[in-house]
């Protein structure tokens, strides 16, 4: 069993309280960083660790930190993105619920590294229980001298606040999150300027995911080079995977990056296989935005190599035969699931969550939703699949923020890999309403699909 870097003590009773967390070595990284390291040295360790943003984009965290502008006399901010809303992802909820001090500890060290005197944790408003948990954890840490003025006698001051969102997926996009934190509608900003130059209140700002910030704790405790020894290639460290859908043991798992997907899916240590003895039909590996893959292409790459849970291996084959790590929202579909219905459901989600700024996304997501609705309900046309691909291509890359891409990819990939199922919905409308298409050939030995432009 692999060593856990984040969740090692998750099952210790009372680990959500300061005293128990501290007795398990908690807040050691704060002592180490504030007493023995310079802020730049902390940034350097995070760079060495190779940590990549755990919110979905996978951008190197240390590099993001090093972009932060540091003009004299201007405040700098660290904002934690806890607006977890990507369908399939629930790891941040888990971390904040059960081991909130890990996030607080990471926030203190990261704020120190960036020179932030005030930091915010932006939590989606629906997670009110988690907001209460974090507020309590902050009060405990403050009472013990780990927050506030002159932390541990180091001369460093930090105030940490929790900010609730109002219920909007788009606020997980970092500039929309900053708008929301400023009390506005969550409309993403045009970049540049990037938040590192002009973020919250126009000041230099870093926005990091909950899990990225938590990962700073083991990086500082053990050193960036040690952290980088875990994982594979440029996918260093451990990753929290939220396993849901039709797996036998849904839940949050911390894995070493590079774990074979087959082991993750079928081993009893993790998902334990598909529930109710059914067969695997398809997988969405990294949250609803990433391309869906049929079982055969998910388990093995197009070159017949076993696929691994790493940024590179999941992306092997590009969008023709691969997918993405995303946020680690792992959704398994059993043989009884309908791909058309699910694609319609996801598209409805993106239509609902589009902020409406950019026409291709605002209009395109609604258009795709209507077409998918008629396909699912037996009124589709054979030309609809080409229409959907066409609309998705005209959204992709033509919007201010990545929500447009996130809405386009699931549709394009579902049609790429499951076109026969969509066509069956058109040619057998009454049957398609009554039953599902089933598993078809997806579990068969791999056939090389045609390259799609």
Partner 1 sequence: MLRVETTQAPVEFSPELVKQFDDIVSRYPAGKQKSALLPILHLVQAEFGWLSSAAMDKVAEYLKLQDIEVYEVATFYSMYFMRPQGKYVLEVCRTGPCCLVGAEKIMDHIEQKLGVKEGEVTADGLFSWRGVECLAACGYGPVLQIGPEYTFYENLTNSSVDQLIADLKVKSNN
Nearest C-alpha neighbor of 138 from the set 153, 119, 155 = 119
Longest CA span, the chain: 73
Q: Which lies closer to partner 1 via its Cβ, residue 345 or residue 428?
A: 345
Using CA atoms, how far apart are residues 28 and 413, in angstroms rounded to an integer?
45
To the nearest whole angstrom, how small is the minimum distance from the Cβ of residue 180 to partner 1?
A: 7
Q: Kindly indicate which of the ranges 23-31, 123-131, 216-224, 377-385 contains the residues binding partner 1, using the contact rule CB under 8 A.
A: 123-131
Using CA atoms, how far apart are residues 362 and 368, in angstroms rounded to an integer?
11
Please pick, from the candidates 14, 25, 129, 397, the single residue that binds partner 1 as defined by CB under 8 A: 129
Q: Kindly indicate which of the ranges 11-19, 35-43, 208-216, 249-257 contains the residues binding partner 1, using the contact rule CB under 8 A.
A: 249-257
DSSP assignment of 201-257 equals GGS-EEEEEHHHHHHHHHHHHH-HHHHHHSEETTEESEEEEEEEESBSS-EEEEEET
Q: Which lies closer to partner 1 via its Cβ, residue 231 or residue 244?
A: 244
CB 267 within 8 A of CB 352: no
DSSP type of residue 304: S
To the nearest whole angstrom, how small is the minimum distance from the Cβ of residue 276 to partner 1?
A: 11
Q: Which lies closer to partner 1 via its Cβ, residue 153 or residue 183?
A: 183
DSSP type of residue 302: T
CA distances from 130 to 55, 181, 229, 264, 277 (A): 18, 18, 32, 28, 35
Please pick, from the candidates 246, 301, 310, 436, the single residue that binds partner 1 as defined by CB under 8 A: 246
Is the sign of the CA dihedral 419, 344, 325, 308 positive or negative? negative
Of residues 253 through 312, those in contact with partner 1 by CB under 8 A are: 288
User: Contact between 323 and partner 1 (CB under 8 A)?
Assistant: no
To the nearest whole angstrom, how small is the minimum distance from the Cβ of residue 8 to partner 1?
A: 20
Q: Which residues contact 66 (CB under 8 A, 6 or more apart)?
A: 43, 47
Q: Which lies closer to partner 1 via its Cβ, residue 109 or residue 176?
A: 176
Cβ neighbours of 35 (radius 10 Å):
11
Q: Which lies closer to partner 1 via its Cβ, residue 278 or residue 394?
A: 278
Binding mask 165-204 for partner 1 (x = CB under 8 A): xxxxx----------xxxxxxx--------------x---
User: Contact between 331 and partner 1 (CB under 8 A)?
Assistant: yes
How many residues bind partner 1 (CB under 8 A)? The answer is 57
Q: Which lies closer to partner 1 via its Cβ, residue 15 or residue 355?
A: 355
Nearest C-alpha neighbor of 107 from the set 82, 143, 71 = 82
User: Contact between 239 and partner 1 (CB under 8 A)?
Assistant: no
Q: Kindly indicate which of the ranges 78-86, 364-372, 383-391, 414-422 contains the residues binding partner 1, using the contact rule CB under 8 A.
A: 78-86
Q: Which lies closer to partner 1 via its Cβ, residue 171 or residue 259?
A: 171
Please pick, from the candidates 218, 250, 364, 380, the single residue that binds partner 1 as defined by CB under 8 A: 250
Q: Kindly indicate which of the ranges 23-31, 32-40, 81-89, 432-440 contains the residues binding partner 1, using the contact rule CB under 8 A.
A: 81-89
Q: Which lies closer to partner 1 via its Cβ, residue 29 or residue 343?
A: 343
To the nearest whole angstrom, how small is the minimum distance from the Cβ of residue 75 to partner 1?
A: 7
Q: Which lies closer to partner 1 via its Cβ, residue 63 or residue 69?
A: 69
User: Contact between 127 and partner 1 (CB under 8 A)?
Assistant: yes
Please pick, from the candidates 128, 139, 190, 433, the single residue that binds partner 1 as defined by CB under 8 A: 128
User: Contact between 86 and partner 1 (CB under 8 A)?
Assistant: yes
Residue with tokens 């660790």: 49
Cβ neighbours of 389 (radius 10 Å):
17
- The three-state secondary structure class of 404 is helix
User: Contact between 22 and partner 1 (CB under 8 A)?
Assistant: no
Using CA atoms, how far apart are residues 319 and 292, in angstroms rounded to an integer?
10
Show the tokens assigned to 153: 């006698």
Of residues 133 through 172, those in contact with partner 1 by CB under 8 A are: 159, 161, 163-169
User: Contact between 74 and partner 1 (CB under 8 A)?
Assistant: no
Show the tokens assigned to 365: 């997501």
Using CB atoms within 10 Å of the CB of residue 379, give its burial: 0 to 12 exposed, 13 to 18 middle, 19+ buried.
Answer: middle
Q: Kindly indicate which of the ranges 39-47, 108-116, 191-199, 340-348 contains the residues binding partner 1, using the contact rule CB under 8 A.
A: 340-348
Q: How far is CA 369 from the centre of its chain?
A: 24
Q: Which lies closer to partner 1 via its Cβ, residue 21 or residue 169?
A: 169
Nearest C-alpha neighbor of 426 from the set 384, 369, 380 = 380
Using CA atoms, how far apart are residues 397 and 393, in angstroms rounded to an integer?
8
| Residues binding partner 1 (CB under 8 A) | 75, 84-90, 92-93, 118, 120, 124-129, 159, 161, 163-169, 180-186, 201, 242-246, 250-252, 288, 329, 331, 333-334, 337, 341-342, 345-346, 349, 352-353, 355
């Amino acid at each position: 069993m692999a060593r856990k870097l984040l969740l090692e003590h998750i099952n210790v009773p009372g680990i959500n309280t300061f005293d128990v967390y501290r007795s398990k070595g908690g807040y050691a990284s704060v002592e180490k960083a504030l007493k023995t390291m310079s802020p730049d040295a902390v940034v350097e360790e995070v760079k060495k660790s190779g940590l990549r943003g755990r919110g979905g984009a996978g951008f190197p965290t240390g590099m993001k930190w090093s972009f932060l502008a540091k003009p004299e006399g201007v405040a700098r901010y660290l904002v934690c993105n806890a607006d977890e809303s990507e369908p399939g992802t629930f790891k941040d909820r888990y971390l904040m619920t059960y081991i909130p001090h890990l996030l607080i500890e990471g926030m203190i060290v990261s704020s120190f590294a960036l020179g932030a005197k005030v930091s915010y944790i932006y939590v989606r408003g629906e997670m009110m229980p988690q907001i209460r948990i974090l507020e309590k954890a902050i009060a405990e840490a403050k009472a013990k001298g780990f927050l506030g003025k002159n932390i541990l006698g180091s001369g460093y001051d930090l105030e940490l606040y929790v900010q609730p969102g109002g219920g909007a997926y788009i606020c997980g996009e970092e500039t929309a999150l900053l708008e929301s934190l400023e009390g506005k509608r969550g409309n993403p900003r045009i970049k540049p300027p990037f938040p590192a130059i002009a973020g919250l209140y126009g000041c230099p700002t870093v926005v990091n995911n909950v899990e990225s910030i938590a990962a700073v704790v083991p990086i500082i405790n053990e050193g960036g080079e040690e952290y980088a020894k875990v994982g594979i290639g440029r996918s260093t460290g451990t990753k929290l995977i939220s396993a849901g859908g039709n797996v036998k043991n849904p839940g949050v798992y911390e894995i070493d990056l590079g774990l074979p997907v087959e082991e993750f899916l079928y081993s009893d240590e993790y998902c334990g296989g598909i529930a109710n003895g059914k067969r695997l039909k398809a997988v969405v590996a990294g949250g609803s935005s990433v391309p869906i893959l049929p079982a055969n292409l998910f388990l093995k790459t197009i070159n017949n190599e076993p696929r691994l849970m790493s940024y590179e291996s999941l992306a092997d084959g590009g969008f023709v035969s691969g997918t993405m790590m995303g946020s680690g929202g792992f959704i398994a579909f059993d043989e009884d699931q309908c791909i058309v219905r699910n694609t319609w459901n996801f598209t409805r989600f993106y239509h609902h969550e589009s902020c409406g700024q950019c026409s291709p996304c605002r209009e395109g997501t609604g258009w795709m939703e209507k077409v998918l609705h008629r396909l699912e309900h037996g009124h589709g046309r054979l030309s609809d699949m080409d229409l959907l691909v066409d609309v998705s291509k005209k959204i992709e890359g033509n919007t201010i923020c990545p929500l447009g891409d996130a809405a386009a990819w699931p549709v394009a990939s579902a049609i790429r890999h499951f076109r026969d199922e969509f066509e069956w919905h058109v040619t057998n409308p009454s049957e398609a309403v009554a039953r599902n298409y089933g598993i078809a050939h997806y579990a068969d030995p791999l056939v090389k699909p045609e390259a799609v432009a």
